[in-house]
Amino acid sequence: MWLLPVPPRGRPRSRPGRQAPVQPQSSPSPDLRHRPARLHRPGAPGVPGAIELPGAPGAPGVPGAPRAPESREHREYRRYRGSRVMICGRKARPAAEQLRAPSDGAGGSRRPGRALKKMGLRSHSPDPPQHSASVSPPRGAAHGTAGTQGSLIQAGAVGARQGLTEDEDVQRMLRGSLLWKVKAKGGSRERLFRLQEDGVTVCFEGRFGRSRSPQSFSVAHIEAVREGRQSEGLRKHGAAFPERHCFTLAFKGRRKNLDLAARGEEDARHWVQGLTKLMGRLQAMSQMEKLDHWIHGVLQRADRNKDNKMSFREVKSMLRMLNIDMDDVYASKLFKECDHSGNERLEGRELELFCRRLLRRPELEELFGRYSGEDRVLSAEELQDFLRDQGEDSSLSQARAIIRTYELNEKAKQQELMMLDGFMMYLLSAAGDILNQEHTKVHQDMSQPLSHYFISSSHNTYLTRNQIGGTSSTEAYVRALRAGCRCVELDCWEGSDGEPVVYHGHTLTSKILFRDVIESIRDSAFEKSPYPVILSLENHCGLEQQATMARHMKAILGDKLLTQPLQGQDPHDLPSPEQLKEKILVKGKKLPELWQEPRGVTSLLDPKEEEEEEEEEEEEEKVQERSPRRSLQSLQEIKPLQAKDASQVSPELSALVVYCQAVPFPGLAQALRHPQPCQMSSFSERKARKLIKEAGPALVRYNARQLSRVYPLGLKMNSANYNPQEMWNAGCQLVALNFQTPGYEMDLNTGRFLPNGRCGYVLKPLCLRSPPGEGSRRLALHIRVITAQQLPKLNRDKGSSIVDPFVRVEIHGIPADCAKQQTHHKLNNGFNPRWEETLRFQVRAPELALVRFVVEDYDSTSCNDFVGQFTLPLPSMRQGYRHIHLLSKDGASLSPATLFVHVRCKSL
C-alpha cells in the first residue's frame, strides 16, 4: 500500500561535498546537526483532534465547566421534545457522563473551542506548545508534515487572533435558533438550526413531530448570504415574515437555495453576520488547513462511541472513509507502532502520530531532498535553483520573499532557510497552483471591439432542468451571472393581465414574469464582473406587451440600460468591453432607421426567411410530440399565447436595440462584401458546423468584424449541450450553452473563461482577430502525473467501497490537436495513489487549446464513474511541479482533493 520513494528524475541535485539523501520509509527524523550554527529546529507543534465548541447545549466538555446559557428558542424546543436536549438526532450526555479531556490536548479530546481553533477562529498565544520530550516525533515531524496540526496553528496564527469562538454571532449559532424554512412551492416549517462543533457544518431537524434523521449543509458550500427577500422563493412565499427577519443561503453548484426567516431581527442578523464571518475565514484557509480540517471531520465521524479514543475497528472504518483499503496486517502493524500505551486504543499524541503517518507526502519529501541535499534544509540559494527549474522568477530576492511568506519556523525564517513544512505550504498554496495566478485577474486588453472577444453565453437561461417539463426560475439568471455569464436569453411570450412571461414555449415548463427576470438581472449583473451584459430577447409578444417589456427594462434598469450609441463612438462600429462597463445591452430586432410613423410597423422578415425559422420550430415541436414522457394529446394542448403581430416590433422595444441588432444571416459572401458590425446573426449548432465545414476561413473573417451566436439544437429534450470548442475555433463569440446541464461541455466553457479574472470576456487569439494570421509555434507538452490526494468517496452508503482511480488528460483545440491519454488505474486507493506516468502530446495551435484533467473510478464491467476534473487554457498553464484542485461534476470545489503533476512545454 505505501509506496517506497523512487529515485529522483531529471538532473541530479547533488553538490560537491554532499551525498544524495537516502530516504527509507522507516528512517528516523533527519539530523539537523550539519548546520548547527544556523538552526536547531524544535519538534513540530500541535496535535490533531476535533474538539467540542463552548456553548453548544449537550456537547461533552470538561467536567465542572459551566453550561452555556440556553436561548429562548432552545428552551421551547427542549420542552417540546422532552426533558433532554436533542441535537442532530442524538441525545446529549448528562454532565456526569462527560469524559475528561486529555491534559495534553491531543486528538479526540473535547476541550472547548478546539475545532474552530483549527480554522484559526479561536484566539490563542502566538507560541503554540511544543512536543513533549518523552514522545519522539515520527519521521517528518522534526521538519513538519503537510496537514498536521502543528502546521495549521502556525499558519493560521494571524486569523486565529480574530477570536471568533468568542464572537457573539458565532455563539448564537452554536446555541442554535428556531428558523422558519420557506419552501419553494409555498408553506413553511420551523426547524432548529445549529452550528456544529467543527465550525463548518450546520444541522437542522427535519420536523418536530417525527423522528427523521437530521439534515445538514456545509458553510464551505455557501456561495452567498442574501439579507431580506432577495430570492424568488421569499418574494413569492415570504410575505408573512418581516423582511428584516428573512435571509437566503445561495449554494454553489446545483443545490437549491435555502430560504429562511427568523423569529426576530436580532436572530437573523446573528446568522447572516456569523455565516459571513465563517465563509470569509474558510476562504482564507490554506490548502493545508483545509486538509487538516477535513481529516479531523473524518476522525470525529469514525469515533462511533464518542469516547475520544480510536479502537482498531474504528481506525479501519476511518481508513475506508478516507478512501484507503489498507492491508489488515500493515494497518495492525501501524496501529501497534502508534499505540505507545498498549491499551489497544489510540488517543492524544498516539492519534497524532497515526495521522502524521497517513498524511505523509513521500513524493514532496523526495523533491525537497533533491534540492536541499543531505542536511534537509533549503537555503535561499537552493530555492533559487528550484524556482529556475520551475520557469519562474529565480532572483535571490524572490527566493527570500517566498521563505518569509511560507516558512513556518521563526528561527528558520530569520536565517533565510526553508524546512519541509514551509516547502509544502508553498507548493500547496496558490503559488504552486497549475493556473497562472496573473490570469486570475483581468490582464488582457479590454479596449478592442466586442467582436474580438469570446463572451460567456447561456441558452434557455431561465431553466433549472430540462426544456420539456423543467422549472423556470429567476434564480437561474442569478446563478448564471455569478458564474461569469455575460449573455443571457429571455424567451418572451404573451402573459395574462398584460404582463409578458418568460418560459420555453410549446412545452410544460413553468412561467415567470418578465419583470421579475429583469429585477434579478439588475441585482446580479455586475456582482462578479463589471463588463457588459447582453440580453438576448426571443420575442413572441404582440406590440402591446413589447411596449410593456420596454417600459419595464427602462424603469428597472435605469442608467444601466444602454439606449443610445456612445458619444464619440462611430455608431456603425462595435465599442469595447471597457467602454461598456456596467452597461446592459439588448439584442433584438430593430426597425429600419428611416421608419417614422407608428402605423408603419411591418414584419422584418421576408417570407422565405420566416419559413426557414418556422421549419426549425416545427422540427422541435415534432420531437416534443414524440416524447415518451408526454402523450401526443397533452402536447398538442400546449398553445402558448403568441400574438398575431409577434413578427412585428414595437418602436419602444426597437429603440432599445443599439449594438446588437438581430438579423437573418445574409450569407458569407454578402456579409463579407458589406460588413455591418452592429448586426448579428444566430446559428443552430448544426448550421454552424455546416458553415465551418464548407467555409471555415470565411467564417473566421466574418467573426473578426461581427458578432455571431450559436445555440444548441431544440431537438435535445434533456437540454444536452454540444462541444463549444469547434465554434470557438471558428471565432464565434457567443457560444451559448445550457448552464443547468453539467458535463464536459460546461467544463470546457468554465475552463475557457477561467482566465482574465473570470470576467466573462476572453480576448481571441490574434489569428482569429486579424485573419489570416500566424498562430503560435507548435509545442511538445509533457505531463507527468505523479500523485493524487484525498479523492472523494463516491459511494458513501457503502463503507467498503474504495475507488480505483486513474487520470486522463484531454487536449481540446483544433481537430489536429484533439487527443487524450490516461494512466493505469490504482486499486483501492483514493487517499494517496501514485502513478509516476508521463503523458506526451504535440499541440499545433496552443493559443486555442484547453487541457482537461479528469479523474475516474475504473470499472471493468461497466462505465467508469466520474470523480473530479479541472480544465484550463494551455496558455494559462504553468510549468514545473504543480497542484491541481479538482472540481465536481457541477463545478463545485472538491477540496482538499488534488492532483500533483509536473508539466514541461517545449517549442518545436
Q: 459 catalytic, yes or no?
A: yes
Largest CA distance in the chain: 96
What are the DSSP E strand ranges found in 494-612? 501-502, 512-513, 533-539, 584-588
Three-state SS sequence of 529-549: CCCCEEEEEEECCCHHHHHHH
Which amino acid is present at 724? P
DSSP 8-class letter at 846: G
C-alpha cell at 256: 437549491
CA 557, distance to chain mean position in Å, is 30
Question: Which one is catalytic: 504, 506, 812, 883?
Answer: 504
DSSP 8-class letter at 53: P
Contacts of 614 (CB under 8 A, 6+ apart): none
C-alpha cell at 406: 511560507
Q: Are 728 and 748 in contact (CB under 8 A)?
A: no
C-alpha cell at 538: 426571443
Which amino acid is present at 558? G
Buried residues in 681-691 as b, exposed as e (16+ CB within 10 A): bbbbbebbbeb
- Establish how many alpha carbons lie within 13 A of residue 241's alpha carbon, considering only the half-sphere containing its beta carbon: 31
Q: SS3 of 262, please?
A: strand
Q: SS3 of 644, please?
A: coil
Q: 782 catalytic, yes or no?
A: no
Q: Are 620 and 715 in contact (CB under 8 A)?
A: yes
C-alpha cell at 286: 490554506
Which amino acid is present at 414? Q
Rg (CA), the chain: 30
CA 157, distance to chain mean position in Å, is 26
231 CB burial (10 A radius; 0-12, 13-18, 19+): buried
C-alpha cell at 746: 460546461
Which amino acid is present at 37? A
- Distance between CA atoms of residues 588 and 657, nearest Å: 6
Please name which of 870, 894, 535 lies closest in space to residue 734, comparing C-alpha atoms. 535
CA 336, distance to chain mean position in Å, is 40
Buried residues in 317-355 as b, exposed as e (16+ CB within 10 A): bbbbbbbbbbeeeebeebbeebbeeeeebbbbbbbbbbb
Phi, psi of 631 (to 5 degrees): -75, 160
C-alpha cell at 211: 423522528
Contacts of 401 (CB under 8 A, 6+ apart): none
- Distance between CA atoms of residues 625 and 610, nearest Å: 22
Q: Are 760 and 749 in contact (CB under 8 A)?
A: no
- Distance between CA atoms of residues 236 and 246, nearest Å: 13
853 CB burial (10 A radius; 0-12, 13-18, 19+): buried
Q: Are 277 and 219 in contact (CB under 8 A)?
A: no
Question: Which one is catalytic: 131, 245, 459, 883?
Answer: 459
Active site residues: 459, 504
